[in-house]
Amino acid sequence: MLKEIQNELIKISDPQVAKSGRRFFKEEIKIRGVKTPDVKKLAKTYFQQIDKMEKSAVFDLCEKLIQTDYQEEFFVACEFSYRIKKNFEKSDFKIFEKWVKNYINNWAKCDSFCNHTMGELIEKFPELITEIKKWTSSKNLWVRRAAAVTFILPARHGKFVDDVFEIADSMLLDNEDMVQKGYGWALKAASQKRPQCVYDFVVSRVGQMPRTAYRYAIEKLPFEMKQKAMKL
């Protein structure tokens, strides 16, 4: 199936899409040139074949896709892993952590996997948040970003906001802009349900928080709050 998926991706790839996609990354990436909606459509089609497979077999296929290092194969793996979320167990964290630490090497892979699969896992098993917080001290910038963006979707619904604050504080002075944008994004997500808390958090750190993170964090605040924050 790995070869089938790769062959299908090659068939629908476009060099111009690949060229355009590379412009969004500072680092070199392996990309075939398939538009995201087409990748999702392909993943949906193939998932019908693996829906009844054992979870371990699905994860094995996901890892083989991820190991190719191509963006599109990685996104297919993200779709597969997320689609079996009802079968997640706490022990799956070790597998997912391995993928984060060993295979994620750009912001798109980080966000695609962590927003959905990792976010779903911590919603189901909040006790794993302690393990996620350890990622903030990683030497790998993508692992640090992953610590923040894992909380995006739960935070939008008002969940784990205090944990978002703790993670943001632990990486407040991080030198990497992609990490700053990561925790700034998590704060922005939290502001949709807890605007006053996020406002109080960011303005109390206005002299320390990098402006990149600060601008991200205040973007979705109510108009008056945002205006006040922008003047600081």
Distance CA 96, CA 62 (A): 11
Question: pLDDT grade, residue 204 (50/70/90)?
Answer: very high
Position 52 scores a pLDDT of 85
Please, what are the domains in the chain? 1-87 (no CATH), 107-232 (1.25.10.90)
User: Residue with structure tokens 């909040």?
Assistant: 126
Residue 93 and residue 121 in contact, taking contact as beta carbons nearer than 8 Å: yes
Residue 214 and residue 206 in contact, taking contact as beta carbons nearer than 8 Å: yes
Position 146 scores a pLDDT of 98
- Mean of the pLDDT values across residues 111-130? 98
Distance CA 181, CA 175 (A): 11
pTM for this model (two decimals): 0.96
- Render pLDDT for 20-64 as a digit per residue (tens, 0 to 9): 999 999 999 999 999 999 999 999 999 999 888 999 999 999 999
Q: Is the pLDDT of residue 99 over 90?
A: yes
Q: Is the pLDDT of residue 202 over 90?
A: yes
- Render pLDDT for 146-173 as a digit per residue (tens, 0 to 9): 999 999 999 999 999 999 999 999 999 9
